[in-house]
A and B are shown apart, each in its own frame.
Chain A
Amino acid sequence: MDKQGHDHIQAGGLGKQLISGDRKLDILSDININIPAASAVAVVGASGSGKSTLLGLLAGLDLPTAGNVNLLGHSLNDLNEDQRAQLRAGRVGFVFQSFQLLPGLTALENVGLPLELIGDPQSRERARDALGSVGLQDRLDHFPRQLSGGEQQRVALARAFVIEPEVLFSDEPTGNLDKNTGQQIADLMFSLRDARQTTLVLVTHDEHLASRCDIQYTLDAGVLKTPL
């Protein structure tokens, strides 16, 4: 599949409404967004403005109550949860603010996980390489709780990189890290984009990080402001 010249992600008329009791709550309304392949897009906005919700919809973790998302050529509304998962497997990577590593697995095993899910026979070697590329070649057999926050986030990055994803979603990847560590993480992400033509979708508070992206969107109470 060609990676350039297409939109990797398209969303049209996207809305998320929650009904709690008899009150309707619009978390997102009428969002239209096109993200070209190999671009880096930042979504910024106040806490509670709906950034995570949007990211979840774009990645197919959840379905919208209005509109549709097209991810890597697939209309997500037409897929069920398993089909959406299969679409992500091997093609979509994630990095979260709270790292989201499995506490029961070592760094190496955590990184090998997405490869296992697509049945890669060389998952161990590739996972080791990926950890090497984030500078953790000496911490392969450590469990998450034995690693610092920055190291955990690098493991999470390695887990995202190891499948050479077409799209990398990250939700405040530097939010829990100090400035220097955050900088390192951001550098790693951009180097991936440069090396692999990966589309980056970043939700962040970090203005410096946002400014390094090609396009910046701002979310305000569920409404997307046109990019500057």
Chain B
Amino acid sequence: MFSLSLKRAARDWRLREIRLLLMALTISVLAITSIGFFTDRVDRGMRLQGAALLGADLLVQSSRPLSDSVRQLTRAFNATDVVEFRSVILSGERSLLTEVKAVGETYPLRGELQTSTALDQPGSTITGTPKPGEAWAAADVFYQLGLIPGSSVQLGNSSFILTRIIKFEPDAGGSVFRFAPRLMINLTSLAETGLITPASRATYKLLISGDEQAMLGLRHPLQQALSPAETLLTVEQGRPEVNAALDRAVRFMKLATVLTIIIAGAAVALTTMSYARRERHTIAILKTLGATHSRLWKDYALRFVMLVFIACVIGSLLGLVFQFVLAHLLSSLLNISLPAVSYKPLVAGLATAALTLSGFALPSILRVIQTPPMRVMRAEATRPRRQVLLSIICISMAMAGFLFWQAGEFELAAIVFVGLVGGLGLMLFVSWLVTRMFQRFHVHRGGGWQLGLANIGRYGRRAALLITTIGIGIFALSLLSNVREDLLTAWQNRIPEQAPNHFMVNIQAADLGALDIFLKQRKLDDTQVYPMIRGRLRAINGMPARAENFENRQAKNTLRREINLTTSLVLPAENKILAGHWFKSQPGQGINQPPPGISVESELAKGLGVMLNDTLDFDIGGRSFSAPVTSLRQVQWDTMQPNFYVIAAPGALDDYPTSYITAVHIRESDTRFTTNLVAAFPNITVLDVRAILKQIRRIIEQVSNAVEVVFAFSLLGGIIVLLAAIQTQRNERRQEIAILKTLGASERQIKRSVATEFMVLGALAGIIGTGLATLTGWVLAEQVLDLHYQVSWQPVVWGILAGIVGLGGVGYGVILSLVRTPPTRLLQEF
């Protein structure tokens, strides 16, 4: 029964509209699948990388040996033990505090350990762990004890031969700061040292790894089985610097995908309008022959299902190919191999095509099916336009659906959605206003441009359509390019070439002066030195704070260990006060100082339930320090600067045991810096974070590439919108131009009139589109992406130019094909 429906559907492929429709749909499927395939893989790859930061997929950490229930549960999995504690090692007369890490045979389960056999050699990946009786140590151990590989050291009751230098340890901990250099031994050698007794302070870790599903499944039972002393750490809590950068990147990619789909949606809307116009006549004929609405509805549904299907197949195949290329290019950057492609993006692609088509095409099709059969007699017979509201609702729902579902993040989605709906409203309003304005415009003399301006007023709906669709295209592209630019520069600024790559901790007050001279001699001026005080949070508003009482993991972690406090007169760069006030400088401190305040990192405060004016009580080396919270502060964790959870007012911690910390950038060529520094200041611990920096830079580079690719998809979508506009306008103007020609208008006049009309509309679309994009981008950057947004006039100028050139190009495309054709043929062909 549907054989003719199928035949009609198949013949449709000859139509430009259907081909454009297919292209637009394919682009959105391509964008969502390739980015989906890619981000899905990268995301899982990142997880692996995150896992590397943990040394495992899951990690149970405890202050006591691990409970039986945990062991029971993890028996079936890949698991290995690690015990960490601080101890002094001896070498002849000299001693050094080290952080000892006793590791099981299979450590690390994720990530790679890099070691070398000579101090000045770069590290290379090693599989395996120190043999019993051997120890590997950070370069600092060698420097500070004046040892070379092959020397032996005493740890507790045992003696160890130092065989390797640890250059990079994947699971160095959540922070780059460590107080003492690392000494790594085999777990089987631990007992002999006699250092681990029930009374000694040590951290026991169980590293667990397995496939994704198994790990997900293990989480919950494991969580249930934990004893109060035990904490479960997962991949998401990797290194904060990396996380922040990745998080932002993923958000950007989501934003980009959403906007690409919206651009494709605009193209779909335009082409279906044109397609629907063409179908009106057919529908009227079919109705006279007895076709019912449901029959017609089925016909078009069939066609659209076919379209969706074909777009999906082509789009996903291209997407698959594309992401392979992408992944291949980037796999050399990523230190890890990406996991296999999953089917998830395919589902997303199918849903996208179906949603785009139903959201953006349905209104036109619903309306055209209403074409009265009388149209076979009178070409102008149409239905009253009742369904404008329906189409607006349809489109809004489709857009909202996309945004929310795609972004998976309420805030991002809400901002873009409000920007978009506001934009649509504004564009319709401006179109209305402008048509009103030009309606007053009378053509006195037949100048082409006057005719063009008058046409804007005469064909209000057409003007509105063009302003809106092109405006949305410009909005999306401009928003994307603004944010992209911002993102890339912000990243580059945040980890600039000169970013600190060496941290110096354990600096004693007595050494400050000499260190300053030492650094100045090496042209390392204005390095900010922060006092660092180790303290444990004991009570909030006088109530004892215990880890067990908190749900929040960060809060738990904070309460279990000592955290770093500092004092500072000025708010560190890249920190932002969210509530309260930064400390006022107190000239000529009197005796009646106000109680000194503290500034707390906002996420931690949230986790602890701490508000402004709450009093926090710290235990610092057995002494109490308590102070009211006078501000909450946002910290950018992805800056390679010393960051602190708690900052006290200047002077407030002067009486407590303090060491100092600073960070400097050492040129790659300066290979002797660490050696010289340690020789001059044996107490200072130097942490080389170049490997971490490199890792972060690599991720950023990789992500920037992906960002550019997504952007290219959006641009492609923009081109299709323009093609779609040409197509609609060609159909729309065929008759108009034919009549003008029959009435004796010259080619020149027609060209001028069309050019004027399109350029004016293009400029308007550009102004509105970029204006809105600037506004939305600003809100997005500040609220979601944590960037400082540079409002500038340049994008607006570019947008207007793009509008003029883009729509001007459409106009040119339209006239070029029509103006040469003889008027009789123009009239016939319609």
Residues of A within 8 A of B378 (CB): 52
A96 interface hit (Cβ, 8 Å): yes
B11 interface hit (Cβ, 8 Å): yes
- Do B8 and A104 have beta carbons less than 8 Å apart? yes
- Do B377 and A86 have beta carbons less than 8 Å apart? no
CA distance A35 to B763 in the complex (A): 61
- Do A117 and B291 have beta carbons less than 8 Å apart? yes
Q: A104-B12, A105-B7 are in contact. Are A114 and B293 (CB under 8 A)?
A: no
- Do A94 and B4 have beta carbons less than 8 Å apart? no
Closest to B379 in A: A98
Measured between C-beta atoms, what is the minimum distance from B600 to chain A in Å? Answer: 69
Q: A61-B372, A104-B8 are in contact. Are A85 and B292 (CB under 8 A)?
A: yes
Residues of A participating in the B interface, judged by any CB pair closer than 8 Å: 52-53, 55-56, 59, 61-62, 81-82, 85-90, 92, 94, 96, 100-102, 104-105, 109, 112-114, 116-119, 159, 171
- Do B293 and A61 have beta carbons less than 8 Å apart? no
Closest to A119 in B: B1
13 A–B contact pairs at CB < 8 A?
Answer: A56-B377, A61-B288, A62-B372, A81-B372, A88-B289, A94-B376, A109-B4, A112-B4, A113-B4, A114-B289, A116-B3, A118-B290, A119-B1
CA distance A202 to B295 in the complex (A): 29
Closest to A84 in B: B373
Residues of B within 8 A of A94 (CB): 288-289, 376
CA distance A59 to B286 in the complex (A): 14
- Do A105 and B4 have beta carbons less than 8 Å apart? yes
**Secondary structure of the B side of the interface?**
helix
B285 interface hit (Cβ, 8 Å): yes
8 interchain residue pairs of minimum CB distance: A89-B290, A104-B11, A61-B373, A82-B292, A52-B377, A62-B374, A88-B290, A116-B4
Q: A61-B377, A100-B285 are in contact. Are A109 and B291 (CB under 8 A)?
A: no
Of residues 715 through 730 on chain B, the ones whose CB sits less than 8 Å from some CB of chain A are none
Residues of A within 8 A of B293 (CB): 81-82
CA distance A53 to B4 in the complex (A): 30
- Do A89 and B289 have beta carbons less than 8 Å apart? yes
Q: A116-B4, A117-B295 are in contact. Are A56 and B374 (CB under 8 A)?
A: yes
Residues of B within 8 A of A86 (CB): 290, 292
Residues of A within 8 A of B377 (CB): 52-53, 55-56, 61, 96, 171
Measured between C-beta atoms, what is the minimum distance from B828 to chain A in Å? Answer: 9
Of residues 2 through 54 on chain B, the ones whose CB sits less than 8 Å from some CB of chain A are 3-4, 7-8, 11-12, 14
Chain B interfacial residues counted at CB < 8 A? 26
Measured between C-beta atoms, what is the minimum distance from B306 to chain A in Å? Answer: 15
B287 interface hit (Cβ, 8 Å): yes
B294 interface hit (Cβ, 8 Å): yes
B282 interface hit (Cβ, 8 Å): yes
Residues of B participating in the A interface, judged by any CB pair closer than 8 Å: 1, 3-4, 7-8, 11-12, 14, 282, 285-295, 372-374, 376-378
Residues of B within 8 A of A81 (CB): 287, 293, 372-373
- Do B7 and A113 have beta carbons less than 8 Å apart? no
Question: Beyond A62-B374, A88-B289, A94-B288: 9 further Cβ-contacts under 8 Å?
Answer: A52-B378, A61-B377, A62-B373, A82-B293, A85-B291, A85-B373, A114-B290, A117-B286, A117-B291
Residues of B within 8 A of A102 (CB): 8, 282, 285
Residues of A within 8 A of B287 (CB): 61, 81, 85
Measured between C-beta atoms, what is the minimum distance from B209 to chain A in Å? Answer: 60
- Do B374 and A116 have beta carbons less than 8 Å apart? no
Residues of B within 8 A of A159 (CB): 289
Measured between C-beta atoms, what is the minimum distance from B376 to chain A in Å? Answer: 5
Q: A104-B8, A105-B4, A119-B1 are in contact. Are A88 and B292 (CB under 8 A)?
A: no
- Do A90 and B290 have beta carbons less than 8 Å apart? yes
Residues of B within 8 A of A61 (CB): 287-288, 372-374, 376-377
Measured between C-beta atoms, what is the minimum distance from B303 to chain A in Å? Answer: 12
Residues of B within 8 A of A118 (CB): 290
CA distance A119 to B5 in the complex (A): 12
CA distance A51 to B7 in the complex (A): 35
Closest to B289 in A: A114
Question: Which of A56, A100, A109 is close to B7, meaning CB atoms less than 8 Å apart?
Answer: A109
CA distance A174 to B282 in the complex (A): 22
Measured between C-beta atoms, what is the minimum distance from B497 to chain A in Å? Answer: 63
Residue from A88, A109, A116 with most neighbouring chain B CB atoms (10 Å): A116
Residues of B within 8 A of A92 (CB): 290
Measured between C-beta atoms, what is the minimum distance from A120 to chain B in Å? Answer: 9
Closest to B828 in A: A145
Residue from B1, B4, B8, B377 with most neighbouring chain A CB atoms (10 Å): B377
Closest to A61 in B: B373
Measured between C-beta atoms, what is the minimum distance from A36 to chain B in Å? Answer: 23
Measured between C-beta atoms, what is the minimum distance from B356 to chain A in Å? Answer: 25
Residues of A within 8 A of B291 (CB): 85, 89, 117
CA distance A57 to B376 in the complex (A): 13
Question: Which of B1, B289, B292, B372 is close to A113, meaning CB atoms less than 8 Å apart?
Answer: B289
Residue from B1, B286, B288, B291 with most neighbouring chain A CB atoms (10 Å): B288
- Do A116 and B1 have beta carbons less than 8 Å apart? yes
- Do A113 and B374 have beta carbons less than 8 Å apart? no
Residues of B within 8 A of A96 (CB): 376-377
- Do B294 and A82 have beta carbons less than 8 Å apart? yes
Residues of A within 8 A of B282 (CB): 102, 104
Closest to A101 in B: B285
- Do B372 and A100 have beta carbons less than 8 Å apart? no
Residues of B within 8 A of A116 (CB): 1, 3-4
Residues of A within 8 A of B290 (CB): 85-90, 92, 114, 117-118
Residues of B within 8 A of A55 (CB): 377
Residues of B within 8 A of A101 (CB): 285
CA distance A5 to B12 in the complex (A): 47
Measured between C-beta atoms, what is the minimum distance from A175 to chain B in Å? Answer: 13
Closest to B829 in A: A145
Measured between C-beta atoms, what is the minimum distance from A141 to chain B in Å? Answer: 12
Residues of A within 8 A of B294 (CB): 82
Measured between C-beta atoms, what is the minimum distance from B33 to chain A in Å? Answer: 32
Residues of A within 8 A of B374 (CB): 56, 61-62
